[in-house]
Structure 1
Amino acid sequence: MTEIRTPRLLLRRWHDDDLAPMADINADPRVMRWIGDGSVRGLDHTARAIEQWEEEWDEEGFGLFAVELLASGELAGFTGLSVPGFLPQVLPAVAISWRLGSQFWGQGYASEAAHATLEFALQDRGLDRVISISRVGDDASGNVVRKLGMSLERETVHPVHGWPLRVHTIDLTEFQA
């Protein structure tokens, strides 16, 4: 089983009891504002998503980690790696992403989890390069990208929703563990 411990977090595969707290995160309009079409998602959608994330682990050898707080055992959200099939112009690529419940914002958890995931991608999984895709205006994600040391590669537009996107990148030679 793939697990990563940071000073405050456990990044791990998904458990059955993660469904309800992740569904609560997906039901928060503040969390979902910058994701997809911005709409909240319910329990059924979250269950299908977790199933897909676990399948990606099995197929690709990487995926989205459940992020658990070591101090309390609470599920804070996710961080991890995926193939961004919705944006064909960046393929082949592996993207890092994160989503945390709003009660966990502003405490450095996203940066801590993303840094550990990036190290996992470049050192453990042998990827040469990782990208991040975020909507223009999502300053919180922009801060995490900056802390990871990623560089702007291009600006583009979401193929379905038409929103401006920024694609950042980092490769193995630029990464500071």
Structure 2
Amino acid sequence: MSELRTARLLLRRWRESDLEPWAAMMADPEVREHLGEPLAREQSDAVVAHMRADFDRRGFGWWALESRESGEFLGRAGLDVVDAGMPFAGVDVGWRLARSAWGHGYATEAGLACLDFGFQTLGLPEIIATTTLANVRSQAVMRRIGMVRDPAADFEDPSVPEGPLRRCVLYRSPRPVPGTIAS
């Protein structure tokens, strides 16, 4: 599936025209607050190339996030297979938005669409989400989309150097039982 649609959002494959606004996001220290140092243009372009290759190989991954009303690039959202070497396995849901898109409910809307795709289309038994301990905004989105924190699974990210970004939390969403309404 190449795209998902919600009431306000289009989650679609990446275009060349996304590279510039994505690079601006990745260079923004506020967007990168819980991710690490801002990225140079070459680094952000390499991230997009990697996301495209993963999507082509698996048939799902990180979609570019666009406003259906204006066509504006808002960021990314999607599902990703957890990297080897992490203290857990599975498929991770996530989002990353430009600052101009913060506070409009886009992460929640995109997150719900991704969960639905993961459970209904991919048939996943569970989807997880992770973020730094200090990223309370993303944790609030995780709760809004029905995920529950698993404190026993909180972890130190081995791919991150020692410091405040290393301590992370893990949220879980099991596949809904058919005929029930997810909270």
- Both proteins in one fold, TM over 0.5: yes
How far apart in 1 are the matches of 2:41 and 2:3?
25
Correspondence for 1:117:
114
How far apart in 1 are the matches of 2:6 and 2:39?
29
Q: Mark the runs of 5 or more structure 1 residues left unpaired by the alignment.
A: none
How far apart in 1 are the matches of 2:2 and 2:59?
10
Aligned residue pairs total 174
Correspondence for 1:57:
55
Correspondence for 1:100:
97
How far apart in 1 are the matches of 2:71 and 2:169?
33
TM-score by length of 2: 0.90
Q: Deviations over 1:124-143 (max 9, x none)?
A: 11111111011001011011
Quick one: percent identity of the two aligned structures?
Answer: 33
Q: Mark the runs of 5 or more structure 2 residues left unpaired by the alignment.
A: none
Work out which of the residue numbers 147, 166, 171 in structure 1 matches 2:169: 166
How far apart in 2 are the matches of 1:52 and 1:157?
24
Runs of 4+ in 1 over 6 A off after TM superposition: none
Q: 1:76 to 1:120 in 2, by over 3 A?
A: same
In structure 2, what residue type is equivalent to 1:176?
A: A
Using the TM superposition, give the Cα deviation of residue 61 of structure 1 relative to its aligned residue in structure 2, in angstroms.
1.9
Correspondence for 2:8:
8
TM-score by length of 1: 0.93
Q: 1:137 to 1:87 in 2, by over 3 A?
A: farther
**Secondary structure of the residue that 2:30 maps to in structure 1?**
helix
How far apart in 1 are the matches of 2:56 and 2:114?
17
Whether the 8 Å contact between 1:152 and 1:166 is mirrored in structure 2 is yes
In structure 2, what residue type is equivalent to 1:103?
A: S
Q: Deviations over 1:37-64 (max 9, x none)?
A: x200121111111111111112222100
